[in-house]
């Protein structure tokens, strides 16, 4: 059972345009979400995160939006650059009232290609 889903395996965007990567989750206990970026032959690296008490978090060109009612989050990259071409993984976990986090659950990834 895939609790974190990235339904688009690939996405192609022109340089300078906006890239929107989507992620859906099914577990209502998830309250903390992260995006990781992965280049070929390297391990994933942390990009940006958001807690469920927020609906938006911004870091430079990267913004993550969270819609709890729809159990949906998205990563926006504006403007897209060729160096953004990579695989992006969405991940989620639950911290809850105890403050003790559960393990991260990852999606299957979306390959972003930014073209010139």
Are the beta carbons of 74 and 35 closer than 8 angstroms?
A: no
User: Distances from the Cα of 110 to the Cαs of 52, 85, 98, in angstroms?
Assistant: 22, 10, 32
* Min CB(88)–other proteins separation in Å: 11
Residue 25 binds other proteins (CB under 8 A): no
* Count of positions on this chain that bind other proteins (CB under 8 A): 25
Residues for the chain: how many in total? 116
User: Distances from the Cα of 73 to the Cαs of 9, 20, 35, 41, in angstroms?
Assistant: 16, 10, 10, 27
Residue 62 binds other proteins (CB under 8 A): no
Residue 94 binds other proteins (CB under 8 A): yes
Residue 60 binds other proteins (CB under 8 A): no
Residue ranges in contact with other proteins by CB under 8 A: 6, 32, 34, 36, 41-46, 49, 89, 93-95, 100-109
């Amino acid at each position: 059972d895939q609790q974190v889903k990235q339904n688009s395996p690939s996405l192609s965007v022109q340089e300078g345009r906006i890239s929107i990567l989507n992620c859906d989750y099914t577990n209502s206990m998830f309250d903390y979400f992260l995006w990781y970026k992965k280049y070929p032959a390297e391990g994933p690296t942390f990009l940006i995160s958001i807690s469920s008490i927020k609906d938006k978090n911004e870091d430079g060109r990267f913004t993550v939006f969270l819609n709890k009612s729809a159990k949906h989050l998205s990563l926006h990259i504006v403007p897209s650059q060729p160096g953004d071409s990579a695989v992006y993984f969405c991940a989620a976990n639950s911290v809850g009232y105890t403050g003790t986090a559960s393990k991260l659950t990852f999606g299957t990834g979306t390959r972003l290609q930014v073209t010139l």
